[in-house]
Copies of this chain bind each other. A is one copy, B any other.
């Protein structure tokens, strides 16, 4: 006897999220997560809370606009917390939430893959570009 009937499996499939579907809300979420700055910002918070300027220094080359925008989005999605300390000058700290921390291994994996396979990719590019001639 099957644990689920065919009808139950259909119902489940109907409501399950699937990012392959254009209208699925996970498509938008995927677009947010699969982003260079999101990946680097989350990775930058791996060791706990950090100041805005600290993140800005770690993620070299990010503009203030994109950093703020990325941090706001991550905060809205419940992945990071934003803590303002009213001092002079103002101090703002960011940290991963448990939810955000669960995403950290995934983001770190992309960054690590890129760093580990850069040589092979560059070799492939040279080969491809030579072929195109």
Q: Could you tell me which A residues sit within 8 Å of B by CB distance?
A: 16-22, 25-27, 29-31, 33-36, 38-40, 43-44, 58-61, 75-79, 99, 102-103, 106, 109-111, 113-115, 117-118, 120-125, 127-129
Chain B: CB-nearest residue to A29:
B114
Distance between Cα atoms of A38 and B102 in the complex (Å): 22
Interface contact A106-B113, CB-CB below 8 Å? yes
Q: How far is the CB of A128 from chain B (nearest CB, A)?
A: 4
Chain A: interface secondary structure?
A: helix
Interface contact B99-A124, CB-CB below 8 Å? yes
Question: For A39, what are the chain B residues with a Cβ–Cβ distance below 8 Å?
Answer: 30, 34
Question: For A31, what are the chain B residues with a Cβ–Cβ distance below 8 Å?
Answer: 36
Question: For A76, what are the chain B residues with a Cβ–Cβ distance below 8 Å?
Answer: 124-125, 128-129
Question: For A20, what are the chain B residues with a Cβ–Cβ distance below 8 Å?
Answer: 40, 43-44, 58-60
Interface contact B121-A77, CB-CB below 8 Å? yes
Interface contact B115-A26, CB-CB below 8 Å? yes
Interface contact A30-B36, CB-CB below 8 Å? yes
